[in-house]
Structure 1
Amino acid sequence: MFLLLFVIFLAACLAAGSTGALFSPGTWYEGLNKPRWTPPNRAFPVAWGTIYLCISAAGAIVAQHDGNGIAMALWALQIALNGLWTPVFFGLKRITAGLMIILALWLTLIASIIAMWQVAPAAGLLFLPYILWISVATALNTEIRRLNPSRGSSEA
């Protein structure tokens, strides 16, 4: 049962992650002012691959337990917000709107970790790499907004 659930959760992650192929960073992103500590482009697929495996496992673990309703609802919300950020930030080129989405994602991840921990502590632990990466991404989005004030809300 775990393997089937894992594959289903992984498919959801891959669907959310596919927005990166549809809305790639491109020349617009390359032209933005970014902080010196911006992770190299090669770090993103490694980080996301690891994160998607971890959160798929977390979802599969929690799905097998009674009393998992809140944790599962939060899992669904986080993957929806995850999939929404890329088209808004890279597709619509809305830096400020992207920041609002990633802040909502960060808060949802905190709630997810707490809810999952209550159902199955291992699942909560599996979300830790995700919250760490999203913390970096949130700081990066914030700095890009600060460094590009004229491009924050409606650059197309």
Structure 2
Amino acid sequence: MTIRDLVRRFSSSPSTLAATSAATLATAVTGSLATDVESRWYRRRELPPWQPPRLAFPIVWTTLYADIAVTSAASLTRLRQTDPRAARRFGVALGVNLAANAGWTVLFFRARRPSVATVGALALAASSADLARRASAADRAHGWALAPYAVWCTFATALSADIWRRNGDG
């Protein structure tokens, strides 16, 4: 199955796919611009030995952002047909989720506040699980498609908390 087949299968509305893609792209760009793993502050952090290698992050996040865009478009399309109010609530939940997603990077790398970033990561993990639950209401497969995002955000919360524990906010 090609990506085109997946897009066709999961989204019958090109404008919805364009909107969810634009929103996730904006989140990805914001996160990328805020991330600075070369800063003196970050290089001085003691990182847990179980942190994935740097290369894992862009690979994982690119995959997850594509998943979020396509699956959210499919969920919104289906919900608009069956429950327009649920579709509106899903759209709001997606917006909140993407804002929390970009916000974590700003809190961690720009504000240099691992404590606050950990709380933000926890909120993002909860929001991601909620988004998967809402997608499941449209189609069980949509919920399963977003489950890896919730799992990764939960992992990121543990990672943030351990970096905070090891280094404090200094």
The normalised TM-score by structure 2 is: 0.82
Structure 1: which 5+ runs fail to align? none
Q: Does 1:73 align with 2:73?
A: no
The normalised TM-score by structure 1 is: 0.89
Q: Distance in 2 between matches of 1:53 and 1:121?
A: 19
Q: Please tell me whether the aligned partners of residues 126 and 150 of structure 2 are also in contact (alpha carbons under 8 angstroms).
A: no
Q: Please tell me whether the aligned partners of residues 21 and 66 of structure 2 are also in contact (alpha carbons under 8 angstroms).
A: yes
Q: Residue 143 of structure 2 corresponds to which residue in structure 1?
A: 124
Q: Distance in 2 between matches of 1:31 and 1:44?
A: 19
Aligned length: 151
Q: Residue 65 of structure 2 corresponds to which residue in structure 1?
A: 52
Secondary structure of the residue that 2:89 maps to in structure 1?
A: helix
Q: Please tell me whether the aligned partners of residues 71 and 115 of structure 1 are also in contact (alpha carbons under 8 angstroms).
A: yes
Q: Residue 9 of structure 2 corresponds to which residue in structure 1?
A: none
Q: What's the % identity of the aligned pairs? A: 28
| 1:34 alignment partner AA | L
Q: Does 1:26 align with 2:38?
A: yes
Secondary structure of the residue that 2:50 maps to in structure 1?
A: coil
Q: Please tell me whether the aligned partners of residues 71 and 146 of structure 2 are also in contact (alpha carbons under 8 angstroms).
A: yes
User: By how many angstroms is 1:148 displaced?
Assistant: 0.7
| 1:48 alignment partner AA | W
Q: Residue 115 of structure 1 corresponds to which residue in structure 2?
A: 134
Of 48, 54, 57, which aligns to 1:41? 54
Q: Distance in 2 between matches of 1:93 and 1:83?
A: 14
Q: Please tell me whether the aligned partners of residues 57 and 123 of structure 1 are also in contact (alpha carbons under 8 angstroms).
A: no
User: By how many angstroms is 1:70 displaced?
Assistant: 2.3
Q: Residue 5 of structure 1 corresponds to which residue in structure 2?
A: 16
Further displaced range: 72-81 or 60-69: 60-69
User: By how many angstroms is 1:3 displaced?
Assistant: 3.2
| 1:90 alignment partner AA | F
Q: Distance in 2 between matches of 1:17 and 1:129?
A: 17
User: By how many angstroms is 1:126 displaced?
Assistant: 1.7
Q: Please tell me whether the aligned partners of residues 57 and 126 of structure 1 are also in contact (alpha carbons under 8 angstroms).
A: no
